Structure 1
Amino acid sequence: MALCWQGALLLSLAAAISVHADMKLKCWPDFVTLVWTESRSQADTSLFRLGNCFPTSVTAREVVFNVYFNDCNFRILVTGDQLMYTNDLTYVSTPGSDLHPFTHLVVCSYKRPKDWYPPTYDPKFITYGQGDLIFHIGLMNDDFSGPAKSTHFPLGSSIPIVATVEQETHQPLLLLLDECVAATTPELQAGSNIYPIITNKGCLVDSKTSRSKFEPRQESSELRLSLQAFRFALGQEVFIHCRLGAWDPSGVDNIKKACHYVKNHGKTLGSWELLDNPAKSNLCNCCETSCTPRSTRSTESGILGMVHKALLGPVTISDVAF
């Protein structure tokens, strides 16, 4: 972030419980300092977390975090001319403790620079000593040659999305989108109003009723999706929640796949097609029912792959003919 940004707002919202403590928050251009002073003598200050980060330092009554926004799973939210970084300060209670776990929302808000565009989502993982996996997801321009310059799309237009994984020292990996849903909130909750895009372990269900499709791969570690702007929450901010998976390319099966529906022009019915090998499109047959593992080799974690949740947006779809 540019150092010329001004007016960082220091905000914190309590969860639905009363917390006897004092919090001091300082938002720098790309860094945050949080000091939590706990008044309850029975609290174990080492059990505080900011996102997935442990405290930088602790004393008997004080917890300090000095962290960058690129760390700790900070979330990015853009509303109007405001750019906000949010995270959760949590207390993880031990079994048998009289203190209940709680969550405290932490927000740093800045004036949005005119030349700022949504970055790709960039968390890092360590996987069984094999090195880092770095996932990205972002909005692109029409030919996928660069990032989108707008997050506003007319109804029926194409929303180009690219997801990638940086493999670093890993063997070649196949990137897949396990599921994606659209919602009007940056966090999914029970009862959230959602629009399904990809479900059933890689089935692009939106392609049955639209022009949405997976684009041909440029490389195994990248997946391109042309998503037709849908009639959901028109005029509102929409967030796309996705689960990405990076897998051994030889492990494609009915739960590790990318399938879209191809319409047969002039005929009543179309068919599901496997992006990476149409000759094996029978793996997509379960898209009409329920895709479940066919063997114990189909797992969601381990040395052959990793899954990760990512958030894209907000985007706004307007009710304007394309």
Structure 2
Amino acid sequence: MAPGRECLGSRLLLILVVVTQGKGYPLNFSLKVLDGPTEPVKVGSLLTLEARVEPVPGHALKIYVDKCFGMQTRVLGQSQRMQSLVFNQGCLLGRVEPLPSWLRQDNETLWFTVPAFMLSDRNKEEKVYIACWLLVWSQKKVVEPGRKMCYYNSLSSRPSWYLQEGSLGNSVCHCCETVCPSLESFHREFPGEGRAHMLLVGPLVVQKAQTFWFEDHCTTLNELIVSGMAFTGSFGMVLMIVLAILGTLVACVRPMCRWPRMTWVRPRESPFQRELVTFEEALDSPVREEEERPAEVERGQS
């Protein structure tokens, strides 16, 4: 794999050229961004990419794009986030306007458009890369699910997947919604036919679309409200746990700290005290009889 550089305006876009050795001749692939932007592009704007293979004398080549991904780094395995641009062996993704499309210049050159993307929601500007797997087939091979150029048209009366070129109709693209079968066994017209090669282009600087001032403030306010609600909920939960622990401690310690209950115990009478009380009652009875007799005499006289 031999890297090359091409000056586009005031910026340099990396173009990878893949060379596949055959019987005395190479297959040279290239991938680049047409009209390379000299300034950051806005999210959603279309980027036009050119996939090309150099002609080989004596062989009728036809280039296809198998799949493409947007990445954050130059190394495929180090990108934390990825975005699918072309998948399922030639299904060009994009369901919002403006629609991505294919445009074949000739059998060896293929143009296609993809929307500019960002993989981070927090940054206002980001550098991204596009990795594509290119392959060539003989011009004698017909279009089929494993070798096609499909796109999704959301603006038609019946939104669906459509075939860009070929005479088999749109049924070839129905597998874009599921899994398209791969071409595992076939007769090779030349060495390297049907073998995918990864190429990388970038970095591309992409910016978020300009928003009104109140939209930014609303976004900040929404984040503040969500953060406040989360903090309030967390504080309430911690408070409930603390109160539950204190209630449990009080319930356990209260029986241990309870004061003994005061009760009045009537003193027990001794036999001597009973005898003394009986003697006092006996002395009081004659005095009461003498006091009652004059009262009865007065009643009889009256």
State if a TM-score over 0.5 links the two structures: yes
Structure-2 change in CA distance of 1:292 and 1:165 (3 Å): same
2:196 maps to what in 1?
307
Q: RMSD over aligned Cα, in angstroms?
A: 3.1
Shift of 1:273: 1.5
Letter in 1 for 2:185: T
- The counterpart of 1:131, out of the listed 11, 15, 25, is 25
Which whole-Å CA distance do the structure 2 matches of 1:151 and 1:132 have between them?
Answer: 36
Shift of 1:139: 0.8
Letter in 2 for 1:150: T
Where do residues 271-286 of structure 1 align in structure 2 (5 Å cutoff)?
271-277=160-166, 279-286=168-175
Shift of 1:210: 4.6
Structure-2 change in CA distance of 1:114 and 1:172 (3 Å): closer
Shift of 1:261: 0.7
Highest RCO, 1 vs 2 (Cα 8 Å, sep ≥ 6): 2
Which whole-Å CA distance do the structure 2 matches of 1:117 and 1:191 have between them?
Answer: 21
2:148 maps to what in 1?
257
Letter in 1 for 2:53: V
Pairing 1:230–2:230 present: no
Q: 2:2·2:16 contact (CA, 8 Å) conserved in 1?
A: no
Q: 208-217 or 223-232, which moves further after superposition?
A: 208-217
Where do residues 1-322 of structure 1 align in structure 2 (5 Å cutoff)?
73=2, 115=10, 117-127=12-22, 129=23, 131-141=25-35, 148-150=36-38, 152-189=40-77, 192-205=80-93, 207-233=94-120, 235-251=125-141, 252-265=143-156, 267=157, 269-277=158-166, 279-293=168-182, 296-297=185-186, 302=191, 304-321=193-210
- SS at 1:290 equivalent: coil
Shift of 1:293: 3.2
Shift of 1:212: 3.8
- SS at 2:202 equivalent: strand
Letter in 1 for 2:45: S
Q: Using the aligned pairs only, state the percent identity.
A: 21
Q: 155-164 or 183-192, which moves further after superposition?
A: 183-192
Letter in 2 for 1:173: L
Shift of 1:231: 4.3
Relative to its length, the structure with more helix (as a share) is 2
Which whole-Å CA distance do the structure 2 matches of 1:294 and 1:119 have between them?
Answer: 31
Structure-2 change in CA distance of 1:236 and 1:303 (3 Å): closer
Which whole-Å CA distance do the structure 1 matches of 2:55 and 2:9 have between them?
Answer: 33
Structure-2 change in CA distance of 1:243 and 1:303 (3 Å): closer
Shift of 1:126: 0.9
Structure 1: gaps (5+ residues):
1-71, 77-111, 142-147
Superimposed CA distance per residue, residues 87-132 of structure 1 (whole angstroms, 9 cap, x where no aligned partner):
xxxxxxxxxxxxxxxxxxxxxxxxx9995532532232212x1611
- SS at 1:309 equivalent: strand
Structure-2 change in CA distance of 1:294 and 1:165 (3 Å): closer
Shift of 1:286: 0.4
Letter in 2 for 1:194: M
Shift of 1:158: 1.6
- SS at 1:282 equivalent: helix
Q: 311-320 or 269-278, which moves further after superposition?
A: 269-278
- SS at 1:310 equivalent: strand
TM-score (normalised: structure 2): 0.60
TM-score (normalised: structure 1): 0.56
Structure-2 change in CA distance of 1:161 and 1:151 (3 Å): farther
Which whole-Å CA distance do the structure 2 matches of 1:281 and 1:168 have between them?
Answer: 31
Superimposed CA distance per residue, residues 259-293 of structure 1 (whole angstroms, 9 cap, x where no aligned partner):
1112244x3x4121222226532111100000113
Q: 1:161·1:225 contact (CA, 8 Å) conserved in 2?
A: yes
Which whole-Å CA distance do the structure 2 matches of 1:319 and 1:263 have between them?
Answer: 24
- SS at 1:230 equivalent: coil
Q: 1:197·1:204 contact (CA, 8 Å) conserved in 2?
A: yes
Structure-2 change in CA distance of 1:258 and 1:321 (3 Å): farther
Structure-2 change in CA distance of 1:293 and 1:114 (3 Å): closer
How many residue pairs end up in the alignment? 206
Shift of 1:191: 7.2
Letter in 2 for 1:123: V
